Structure formats: structure tokens, C-alpha cells
Amino acid sequence: MNHDAYPDNYIRGILNGVKSIAMVGASPVNVRPSYFAFKYLAERGYDMIPINPGHVGKTLLGKPFVASLAEIGRPVDMVDVFRNSSHIMPVIEEALRLDPLPRVIWMQLGARDDAAAAKAEAAGIKVVMNRCPKIEYGRLSSEISWMGVNSRTLSSKRPPAPTQGMRLSLNRMSVGGGETAASDRAAKNRNEPG
């Protein structure tokens, strides 16, 4: 696999095929990128598992933190690594001890370890490096265009904003919908007599 450029079908196949995602390096701090990615993916129907030994005893969006991949106690489809490149090989080695093996190892933006990727691929695991599944999901589902970002997806129609229970283009149901505090206030103000 050329890890400098991934075909959209490769990424789409992964995002459509996985159901459970263990996020190594997840944070309960709501301004951290891992928090945003965790919340976004959970709202798209993925079974998210937060992994961070420093937060055991806490929960992230109702999901209890576990200290390591080995402590999950059930199979996972994908391991999403929110660690810097120097910490990836130990995560991959731990993932390779799981039974059954995860189908995908995903390394977040800025994270790349070609030796770890080769080791995972030799075991039959798909690998994505230096990408964010939240961004890729948004780009491939055209959700990202709602924010004015070019998704490189051509269409003459603007996609509808997600609502709770709406079927999204990557065969996922929206759990949380597209509500925000600002949209809730705008809807309330629009419905109140002026």
C-alpha cells in the first residue's frame, strides 16, 4: 500500500466496514482533537472504546476508559492511534497480541511509522497513516461541505444537514444529528414572536 496517497475506495471501505473502534490516546478534555474525533464517530454509530491509562475510572461520553487494548475484553475492528509517531510501535505490538486481530490500524494526523505499518500489514491488517477518520468520514460523506470546506466531491445539490436517525452516505445512521447550541438558539428565536 502506498501510504502517501490512499484511494477514496480504500478509506470508504474501511469506514463502511468497521463497527467498533478502540481509540488509543482518547481524552475526556473537550478541547482536545481526540475528544472531537471520538464524539463525532460515536454520533455516526461507531462503537467507540476510549483507551488511556491516565483516565481509568472516568468515562468519555458514557464509555468507560480502559488502560490498554488488552483490557478491552472483546474484539475490535479498528485501532485508532492518537499518539505521536515515537509511541506507535508499542501500540502496534500490543494490537498484534489481540485475538482476534483488529482489521485496521489507523494513525491520526501527524502520526506515521512505516516500520510499524509494515509489521501490521504483514499480519494482514489494513493500515492508514497521517489521516483522521473524522475528517475522512466528513469528506467522503460530504458532511464537511456544510462548513464550507471543499470535499472534492462534485454535486449539483447541497447535501441536507443531518438530523437524528438520518441515513448518511457512508451507510451510517446519525445518532446525534446536526444540532448545535447555536442552531438550537436560532430555531428558538425564529419561532418566537418578534
Residues composing the chain: 194
pLDDT the model gives residue 143:
75
Higher pLDDT, 3 or 192: 3
Tell me the pLDDT tens digit for each residue of 85-132: 999 999 999 999 999 999 999 999 999 999 999 999 999 999 999 999
Average pLDDT of the chain?
A: 85
Higher pLDDT, 172 or 101: 101
Inter-residue contact 80 to 106 (CB < 8 Å): yes
User: For residues 8 and 17, what is the distance between their CA atoms, to the nearest angstrom?
Assistant: 14
CATH number of the domain encompassing residue 114? 3.40.50.720
Q: Cβ contacts of residue 35 below 8 Å, gap of 6+? A: 26, 27, 28, 29, 60
Asked if the structure places residue 186 within a domain, the reply is no
Domain ranges, residue 92 = 8-136
Inter-residue contact 175 to 163 (CB < 8 Å): no
Tell me the pLDDT tens digit for each residue of 141-160: 877 655 555 545 555 666 56
Asked if the structure places residue 75 within a domain, the reply is yes
Say whether pLDDT at 59 is over 60.
yes
pLDDT the model gives residue 179:
47
Average pLDDT over residues 10-36: 96
Q: Burial of 187 by CB count in 10 Å (0-12 exposed, 13-18 middle, 19+ buried)?
A: exposed
Asked if the structure places residue 48 within a domain, the reply is yes
Phi, psi of 79 (to 5 degrees): -110, 115
Q: pTM for this structure?
A: 0.77
Count of structural domains within the chain:
1
Asked if the structure places residue 86 within a domain, the reply is yes
Asked if the structure places residue 88 within a domain, the reply is yes
Instruction: Sort strands 104-107 and 126-128 into parallel, antiparallel or unpaired.
Output: parallel
Asked if the structure places residue 125 within a domain, the reply is yes
Asked if the structure places residue 90 within a domain, the reply is yes
> Confidence band (pLDDT; 50, 70, 90) for 180?
very low
CA 64 to mean position of chain CA atoms:
17
- Give the containing element (helix H, strand E) for 12: helix 8-17
Asked if the structure places residue 121 within a domain, the reply is yes
pLDDT the model gives residue 141:
83
pLDDT the model gives residue 19:
97
pLDDT the model gives residue 1:
86
Inter-residue contact 88 to 81 (CB < 8 Å): yes
User: For residues 34 and 29, what is the distance between their CA atoms, to the nearest angstrom?
Assistant: 9
